[in-house]
Amino acid sequence: MTEKKELWTQQEVADYFRVVPSTVKNWRDRGLLKYWQAPGSTRVLYFAEEVKDFRDKNTFNGKGAVQSKKPAVKREKPVVSANSEREWRI
């Protein structure tokens, strides 16, 4: 038995996020949203569950920072030598 999953059109996804449909297409082209397209068809459909997962992964908190489920990467400042004997020319 096949499972029935809810499919949304590009316009429905755009309405859900309150953006224009071209923004949804950009997300799709960048690989941020998974979609389904029948062979030989130009119509693109999105699984509602995937759209909601995308929303959960890209939700902002009250301070404007992205809520990340990945641990923060600690970055070190580059070390620059204080006694440079070499003279640079442009």
61: Cα separation from own chain's centroid? 16
Q: Report the C-alpha gap between 68 and 56 in whole angstroms.
A: 10
**Of 82 and 16, the one with more pLDDT:** 16
For residue 68, tell me if it sits in a domain: no
Between the CA of residue 90 and those of 16, 55, 80, what are the distances in Å?
A: 54, 49, 20
Model confidence at 32: pLDDT above 80: yes
- Written as one string, the DSSP assignment of 17-37 is HTS-HHHHHHHHHTTSS--EE
For residue 84, tell me if it sits in a domain: no
- Least confident segment among 45-49, 54-58, 75-79, 82-86: 82-86
At 1, the pLDDT band (50, 70, 90 cuts) reads: very low
Domain that holds residue 52: 7-57
Which residues on neighbouring strands pair with residue 45, listed in sequence order? Answer: 9, 36
Structural domain total, the chain: 1
> What per-residue confidence (pLDDT) applies to 30?
92
Model confidence at 75: pLDDT above 60: yes
Model confidence at 27: pLDDT above 90: yes
Is the pTM above the cut of 0.95? no
CB atoms within 10 A of CB 32: 12
